[in-house]
Amino acid sequence: MSPRRVTLADVAKAAGVSRTTASLVLSGRGRELRISQDVEQRVLRAADELRYRPNIVSVGLRTGTTRTIGFVSDTVATSRLAGDMIKGALEAARDRGFMLFIGETEGDSELERLLLQAMHDRQVDGLVLASMFTRTIKVPEDITNAPAVLLNALPEQPTPLPAVLPDEVEAGRTAARALLEAGHRDGVYLIGAGPGMRDVPPESVAAVERLVGIREAFGDAGVAVAGGRTCADWQPEYGLAATRELLRTARPRALICFNDRIAMGAYQALDDVGLKVPDDVSVVSFDDHPIASWIRPKLTTVALPYYELGRKAVDVLFTEIGRDHAGPDGQGEVHRVPMPLCSRESIAPPPAAAPAG
């Protein structure tokens, strides 16, 4: 079918030189090894005319580098949430002429082992180990064969692997400040976790860190959080239930929902009792899920910077690949990516506190 691929030998023949010379010229080492201008031009022209492209498989075999990185996740690739993470990784890789292998473990460590093996069999130059939601993971042992980076995950035990994570603590502060700046000082309730540091779902790094940031910002402002409700799962129905429960005993002025889906449930609960967002109750949330701009009024939320996380992970991976992989270097660095506030329509000054502007 397709005409055979053009190889270095073809180029060499067309230029009337040896494969060695052609290789030297094309790898830019012609000068260094004293190839004449004339020959250099001939080779370059031949390569161009024949549309020569080096076979990366061959290069991979000889040099050990395949210009390929593996992106292994529990279920990120196919999570509707974090596709942007892949996108960021994809583009960062593309910028450097690298391709991405994608693999999913679904949390199954046997699958993970197999997947990492398959990637090593294909001589990937590096690995990104990603998690759909921020959490601590057990770093598989086979990892150390190639440079690797944790994405949206922290190692259970100390490892030399660097990690890239959203700056959740600062996000917590950001959310809190958004309310404080609107003038809220009373009746601020949390939905999804809190108010105490122990009221968090297990395994959720995000919950803990967001809560830390929230408490810190309010603390600094001398404001006390009025209360909070945990949710078994951060889904709309649980947000709805938690908010309903809250409304039975309290009259909130503002809600900090721990994610947008919870906020969606909260909207429904508020609507049920005739409370208007943001006039009666302000709502701020986290993630910037697409629904945040679909529900009305549009939700003000602190965005998870998926795209940047993906990019950053690959960037860090490349410096890791570049590094001399000499001795054990202790603890991997943790990179925090800022979470920007998406100001929309769900925050207003509290009714009582709306004097002359």
Which residues sit at the interface with DNA, rule CB under 7 A?
A: 4-9, 16-21, 23-24, 26-27, 29, 33-36, 38-39, 52-55, 58-59, 61-63
Of 159, 151, 116, 113, the residue nearest 135 (C-alpha): 151
Place of tokens 């080492």: 29
**Inter-CA distances, 166 with 74, 209, 340, Å:** 18, 10, 10
Compute how many residues bind its own copies; rule: CB under 8 A: 53
Cβ proximity to its own copies, 83 vs 196, nearer residue: 83
CB 192 within 8 A of CB 231: yes
Among 31, 45, 96, 325, contact with its own copies (rule: CB under 8 A): 325
Residue of 81, 192, 95 lying closest to 131 (CA atoms): 81
Cβ proximity of 221 and 287 under 8 Å: no
Task: Point out which span in 40-48, 72-80, 179-187, 247-255 binds its own copies (CB under 8 A).
Answer: 72-80
276 binds its own copies per the rule CB under 8 A: no
Contact between 68 and its own copies by CB under 8 A: the answer reads: yes
Which CB sits closer to its own copies, 174 or 285? 285
Cβ 121 to its own copies, closest distance in Å? 4
If contact means CB under 5 to 8 A according to the sort of partner, which of DNA, its own copies, none does residue 101 touch?
A: its own copies
> Considering the rule CB under 8 A, would residue 223 count as an interface residue with its own copies?
no
Q: Find the shortest distance in angstroms from Cβ 66 to DNA.
A: 12
Question: Cβ distance 284 to 175 under 8 Å?
Answer: yes
Cα–Cα dist 266/146, whole Å: 45
Asked whether the beta carbons of 6 and 52 are under 8 A apart, the reply is yes
Q: Are 93 and 85 in contact (CB under 8 A)?
A: no
Cα(351)–Cα(183) distance, integer angstroms = 10
Pick the binder of its own copies from 15, 26, 77, 225 (CB under 8 A). 77
Q: How far is the CB of 35 from DNA (least distance, A)?
A: 4
Tell me how far apart the alpha carbons of residues 125 and 148 are, in angstroms, rounded to a whole number: 9
Residue (5 or 31) nearer to its own copies, CB? 5
CB nearer its own copies, residue 23 or residue 145: 145
Site track 282-321 with its own copies (rule: CB under 8 A), x = hit: --------xx--x-x-------------------------
